[in-house]
Amino acid sequence: MNIRANSWVKIDPALAVEKYMKIIRTPEEMQQAAQALRRDGKTIGFVPTMGFLHEGHLSLMHIAHERADVLVASIFVNPTQFSPDEDLDAYPRDFERDEKLCRGAGVDLLFYPSPSTMHLADHSVWVDETSLTDVLCGAARPGHFRGVCTVVAKLLNIVLPDFMVLGEKDAQQLRVLRRLVRDLNFPVDIVSGSTIREADGLAMSSRNKRLSPAERAEAVCLFQGLEKAKERFAAGERDAEVLKAAIREIIEQTSGLIDYIEIVDDETLQPVKGVERPALIALAVKFSGARLIDNAVLGK
């Protein structure tokens, strides 16, 4: 089952009631804890993250906390979803800060494994999705979604959640993981949470920290481009190329380099010429400090 949840109340960790939160560092211990919870009839809500948390992550934790008896969050910077020329080493990390944020958000169990425990030296089994991953970020980052699907399949087997909460900012990832759960018959519901934005509209992302002040000011162009396309769509425009051109015009006024601007079918992720049914606008823009993504759905 796929569920969309919009509920979000800002959590201030400084004001949160101090609570016990257990940190688990090995898959074996996490799986044993999850099995014990399920034997006791507890529902488990799960929020997977790569850490360096922001209010977008906390909003997903809030959704899970409201729906589950036990909230599990994971922090794992997954090396298998980064290519050799990508920013694995530069990816921001601050576990002490993340731990406090998780505690304030009501996390009961924080799963914080090391790469060596999640990916054994001689591991040879992968999970690969072959229909939704040849476009958008899948085309721009070969092998990325194989790493994502493999680690999420492992996390689902380790955490044994009743449901998993994912953010709508990572639109392709959300759709790919829905397919993963469907096709491999994981007994897990997918709950989606709305994109959380800064005051100027920039989608919150751990990578925003790597933008220079000038780039941060320009980065709002992604949101502005999406808003312009939505305005044109609301006024009756249905031609995908015209809508994409409206976005491109705004982004090209900045130092950002367009990786892609695509309008695709909301289910199949295949490009469309005209928006006659729900369609996803997806874009990725590179600045010197970070590659940013954003999206919007038309006609839904």
- Strand order from edge to edge, sheet including 189-193: 2-5, 189-193, 163-167, 44-49, 70-75, 109-111, 22-24
Q: Two tokens at 71?
A: 């909230």
Selecting among 57, 62, 65, 144, the annotated active-site residue is: 57
How many Cβ atoms are within 10 Å of 40's Cβ, its own excluded? 9
CB 127 within 8 A of CB 146: yes
> In sequence order, what E strands does 87-188 have?
109-111, 163-167
Give yes or no: 57 in active site. yes
Q: Which of 296, 249, 248 is nearest to 275 (CA)?
A: 296
Q: Two tokens at 249?
A: 């015009």
Residues classed as catalytic: 57
